Chains A and B, each alone.
Chain A
Amino acid sequence: MSCTTTPPLDPVTPSHPDPRFRADLSFTAEGVKHSGFVLLPRRSSTKFVFDLPRETEMFLINTCGREDVPILYPAANQKTLEYVYVPAMEKENMGSCALFATAVTARGEFYRAVVDFTNSTGKDLPVRLFCNGKWADVVGAGICQTRAGIPVGVQVDVETLAEGPVECPPIKELRTRREWEMPSGKGLCGYDFMDRDGRLFRLSVLGYTSILNIFPKEGKK
């Protein structure tokens, strides 16, 4: 027997003791402003500047190969945090290796930025991606953040197979080897699509069940 600690993601249920929050953290990457769940070109080095929420007490940066805990200076009223991300060769610079930046404030507010990276291998599959009310033409990698339960769709022009993790909502094939739909699950789910020539489209879906109230209550602060 073997065991895994990978938690299964529930399909959408009416009530759940473990909501996944959506509380987007703003940042710039190489000078361009972003927020929340973002797809960026993979580079040998990316300079991030994260906007620190008021009274940030803890900041974590996680990837598939690291956890960094930058030192904060709350007494200095630090408003931003600079982080230069240099993905480690052969570990972080290939395939899926998203960067997660998480800020927790003294008031119990939780903010997160998720950055996935494209990885042009020369074998990138072009698809049409439906996410949160919009269609987009994407190549090789795509992301979608939406409320858990809202469907995400993929269309292709060539014969393609689709796969997803068993612990995530199943993929429904709408047209044989051409079109699929899956409800976004609670948390992160990775789906992949591959054509006969091995061209790949990697889709990461982030489903949330609660939007964290990022504004403190009125009254004494």
Chain B
Amino acid sequence: MTLWILILQFAMKLLPILYQLKIIRDQAELKELQRRFEVAVQEAEKGALDSVRLREQHQDNVDRLRSRWDEIKKGNPDPATEKPTSVVIKAPATFTPTESFVVEVIPPQPGADLFADDWRMYTLGNTSPHRVLLQNGGERKLRVVRAGVELAAVMVKGA
């Protein structure tokens, strides 16, 4: 009899602890579900403009294709296969993400695009230099591109 009472007393002491552990586990599960939900919502919202982007890509492609065929029909070489000139990008080896820095394209390539590789693109004018702001660190690639052809590239590193 005494043994049963002891067992019962032990069980009554243990139950609240087990219940507390269950609460902790449930809270951890809930937190994980919440995190997964937020990631899924972010993914959904990130894709909200995919249709717009795709349309822009196709439209730009078609514009370039028409230009190329126009040149070819005039008897000129296909602009996309012309050999690119020797182009150099001068930029600091390291950059601070919160400060803009100067990029020089030599010789200047008016009408080409400078891709700063963090979703930013700058259309080059007739003069150099250009100010670029990269908001995230890490190793990044700066590229000068004309008519889909990469003319020059350089790697820079975020301090």
Binding site for B on A (CB under 8 A): 1-8, 21, 57-58, 60, 62-64, 67, 95-100, 102, 104-110, 112, 114, 161, 163-168, 170, 187-194, 196, 198, 200, 202, 204, 220
Whether B40 contacts A60 by the Cβ 8 Å rule is: no
User: How long is the Cα–Cα vector from A64 to B143 in the complex, in angstroms?
Assistant: 29
User: How long is the Cα–Cα vector from A153 to B122 in the complex, in angstroms?
Assistant: 32
Whether A2 contacts B123 by the Cβ 8 Å rule is: yes
Whether A62 contacts B48 by the Cβ 8 Å rule is: yes
Q: Would A99 and B51 be within 8 Å (CB), given that A4-B120, A110-B44 are in contact? A: yes
Q: Would A190 and B44 be within 8 Å (CB), given that A2-B123, A100-B50, A161-B65 are in contact? A: no
A-contact 0/1 string along B111-148, CB 8 Å cutoff = 00101010111110100001100000000000001001
In the complex, which of the residues A5, A97, A106, A114 contacts B55, with contact meaning CB atoms closer than 8 Å? A97
User: How long is the Cα–Cα vector from A4 to B113 in the complex, in angstroms?
Assistant: 11
Q: Would A107 and B36 be within 8 Å (CB), given that A62-B49, A168-B57 are in contact? A: yes
Query: Taking the nearest CB of chain B, how far is it from the CB of A138, in angstroms?
Result: 16
User: How long is the Cα–Cα vector from A26 to B119 in the complex, in angstroms?
Assistant: 32
8 A-B residue pairs with CB within 8 Å: A3-B120, A102-B44, A108-B37, A164-B61, A166-B115, A190-B54, A200-B65, A220-B29
Q: Would A110 and B145 be within 8 Å (CB), given that A64-B51, A95-B55 are in contact? A: no
Whether B37 contacts A64 by the Cβ 8 Å rule is: no
User: How long is the Cα–Cα vector from A129 to B53 in the complex, in angstroms?
Assistant: 23
Whether B47 contacts A62 by the Cβ 8 Å rule is: yes
Interchain residue pairs A-B with the least CB separation, the first 7: A108-B36, A190-B57, A192-B61, A163-B61, A96-B58, A194-B65, A110-B40
Beyond A2-B121, A161-B80, A165-B60, 15 extra complex contacts between A and B, CB < 8 Å = A4-B121, A62-B48, A63-B51, A64-B52, A67-B48, A98-B50, A100-B47, A110-B43, A163-B80, A166-B145, A167-B115, A194-B62, A196-B73, A198-B69, A202-B58
